[in-house]
Chains A and B, each alone.
Chain A
Amino acid sequence: MNERDDSDFLKKEAPILSHYKRAEKSPYLMPEGYMNSLKDTLLAEAKKLEEAPKSAKVISLPNWFRPVAAAASLLLVGWVGFALWSTSDTPALADNDALLLEEIDAYVEANFDEFGEEVYDLFLSEASTEDIEEIDWTNSLQIDDLEEGFWEEIDEQLLEELL
């Protein structure tokens, strides 16, 4: 179906919407001078972010935590990669990080509310494999659900949500 079919669809199936679209005058207004004040507010926020010391983001953790977390994350990511590789024609993690990212991204969107700010931010920044390895997947994904057909089921859920 192309873009033209889309407007034909409106004419045929939704004539009120089709007419409204041609006659539309936006009913939404904004306060006078709003864009300038918004720009000033946001520039001040940007300045704060630029000036924030980078060390503020570092959370102090016990010495044993990092190697244990790294090992556990690697194990989990490897397991996810293997599960994907063994349950579909999807190439293994090492062969195609982008595909895995795309699928996880879709999952994140479908389960948006269950994910913490940190995970969401990582995906917004188009997380690298290293970033993903740092995520504690036990808090985000139900690993037990990664059985045969898992990703297909997620796609169906997403479709159902959209419909």
Chain B
Amino acid sequence: MNKELSNQSIGDEEILRYLRSPKEANKGYTLLLEKYQERLYWHIRKMVTFHDDAHDVIQNTFIKVFKNIKGFRQDSGLYTWMYRIATNESISYLRKRKRIQSNVVSNEILPMQDSLTSDPYFDGEAISLLLAKAMDTLPEKQKAVFQLRYFEEMPYKQMSEVMGTSEGSLKASYHHAAKKIEQFLKQRNINF
């Protein structure tokens, strides 16, 4: 087992202890990144779709984490707290992106599907493209709910902590999103 993999099993308490010690904070940051950066990257990537966007969002996410982690009171789990920041940052980014797009003459912006096929870090089949496009039609928060539940299979209880919304609302939102996406795919004759 390499060092980075073994660091992924280090407990959050230990990471926080390092971070709060001025002499060992650097080790704490390293452990925190080794344990969580990849998981958060993929969560953000599926939210914002493009690698370059995900790169910006994950940087903003970790800067906020770094600024606030020493005062983190552990009312929720560290992972849940970080997920929450990453989700909020992704939602905020998507809103900004939407605002910018709506302010630019529409033909200057590549449609989602064309943008994806020109992204060197996307290797999807037709249905993956359509699914990404369908997800992009959802409101930002609904997209986050769908992402957490469908792709990451996060339990509703944890989602509730991440999103700050009741489990009932999340279930309703997820079902609504899934039906919308299913409809989108059906209209484009996607079948198995």
What residues of chain A have their CB less than 8 Å away from a CB belonging to chain B? 1, 3, 6, 9-10, 13-17, 19-21, 23, 27-31, 35, 38-39, 41-43, 45-47, 49-50, 98, 102, 105-106, 109, 112-113, 120-121, 124-126, 158-159, 161-163
Q: Which of A27, A42, A121 contacts B68, CB < 8 Å?
A: A121
Indicate if the CB atoms of B58 and A30 lie closer than 8 Å.
no
Q: A6-B149, A124-B64, A125-B71 are in contact. Are A27 and B169 (CB under 8 A)?
A: no
Indicate if the CB atoms of B178 and A14 lie closer than 8 Å.
yes
Q: How many A-B residue pairs have CB under 8 A?
A: 147
Indicate if the CB atoms of A43 and B150 lie closer than 8 Å.
no
For the complex, what is the distance from the CA of A26 to the CA of B63, rounded to whole Å? 28
Indicate if the CB atoms of B172 and A162 lie closer than 8 Å.
yes
Would you call the interface of chain A mostly helix, strand, loop, or mixed? helix
Indicate if the CB atoms of B182 and A17 lie closer than 8 Å.
yes
Indicate if the CB atoms of A27 and B182 lie closer than 8 Å.
no
For the complex, what is the distance from the CA of A126 to the CA of B33, rounded to whole Å? 21
Which residues 102-136 of B sit at the A interface, judged by CB distance below 8 A? Answer: 120-125, 127-129, 131-132
Q: Which partner residue on chain A sits nearest B84 by CB separation?
A: A124
Q: Which partner residue on chain A sits nearest B167 by CB separation?
A: A1
Indicate if the CB atoms of B121 and A28 lie closer than 8 Å.
yes
With an 8 Å Cβ cutoff, the count of chain B residues facing the other chain is: 70
Indicate if the CB atoms of A35 and B68 lie closer than 8 Å.
no
Indicate if the CB atoms of B121 and A43 lie closer than 8 Å.
no
For the complex, what is the distance from the CA of A13 to the CA of B179, rounded to whole Å? 7
Which residues 88-114 of B sit at the A interface, judged by CB distance below 8 A? Answer: 88, 91-92, 95
B116 to chain A, nearest CB (A): 8
Q: Does B73 count as interface, using CB distance less than 8 angstroms?
A: yes
For the complex, what is the distance from the CA of A104 to the CA of B81, rounded to whole Å? 17
Across the interface, which residues of A come within 8 angstroms of B58, CB to CB? 38
Q: Which of B62, B88, B142, B174 contacts A42, CB < 8 Å?
A: B62
Indicate if the CB atoms of B41 and A38 lie closer than 8 Å.
yes
Indicate if the CB atoms of A112 and B33 lie closer than 8 Å.
no
Q: Which of B26, B29, B92, B185 contacts A16, CB < 8 Å?
A: B185
Q: Does B38 count as interface, using CB distance less than 8 angstroms?
A: yes
